[in-house]
Amino acid sequence: MSDPETVRHRALRTALRSAEYTLALVGGVCLIAYGGACARASLTQQRESAAFDEALRARQARLQQQIESEAPNRSEWSPARVAAYEASLDKPVRAIGRLEIPDVDLSVMVLEGTDASTLDRAVGHIPGTARPGEPGNLAIAGHRDGYFRGLRHVQTGDAISLTTLEGVAHYRVDKIEVVKPGRTDVLAPSASATLTLVTCYPFYHIGDAPSRYIVHARQVAFEPWSLDGNDVAAR
């Protein structure tokens, strides 16, 4: 018979092996879940970007056709071409724009709303703030560990662009600040066209972040889509 000490050692080794297997299994499940979440977010970005570009092409086509006629003559079009044209006019697009900050290599589709599922897949327009193309303060929120991770490298003077179905708004960063979550005045309306980007802070904080990182920018130009027939998708 084995002595009690040997039995205890064997039991301990068995327990440790069981714990190792359990931890390895949990780790594997977490990696799979994380990979799935990343894949879903990437697919959303690709789908929304493609849909947005298609809408831009459709809008440019409509503008070009308005030069020749308010209602284009489709009598010589094939049925397939007519169907494709009409479908392009009605195609639903959930994204309201594409936000780009070249200096920090950020390009992301903007969806409406700021619920968790939206911010896991994109950045979101904050309801109640100005919409693209309107005067006032347009605010966009994003996760600090998601698409707005690059905001930590933004500096005053950096250029920001927001491409919409109406044109491209160009902004310049003029202020960066860290505030408490209760500082809702950062979303207050403004007399001029401004852009406010909001994310949590500190960027590497574990758990609920205690502060908010705010990037303020002012609009310096707006370029509506022209009627010269240029393909906007080639930007």
Predicted TM-score (pTM) of the model is 0.66
10-residue averages of pLDDT along the chain (235 residues): 63 67 66 65 79 74 45 60 62 76 93 84 92 92 90 97 92 97 94 96 89 97 72 40
- The top-level CATH class assigned to 94-234 is mainly beta
Whole-number pLDDT of residue 85: 55
pLDDT in tens, 19-75: 676 666 666 666 666 666 666 677 777 888 887 888 777 765 554 444 344 444 456
Whole-number pLDDT of residue 234: 36
224 prior amide bond cis, ω within 30: no
Question: Cβ contacts of residue 115 below 8 Å, gap of 6+?
Answer: 124
What does the alpha-carbon distance between residue 97 and residue 150 come to, in Å, rounded to a whole number?
18
Spans of all domains in the chain: 94-234
Phi-psi region of 186 (alpha: psi -120 to 50; beta: other; left: phi over 0): alpha
Whole-number pLDDT of residue 59: 67
For the chain, the straight-line distance linking the first and the last C-alpha, in angstroms and rounded, comes to 81
112: buried, middle or exposed (CB in 10 Å: 19+, 13-18, 0-12)? Answer: middle
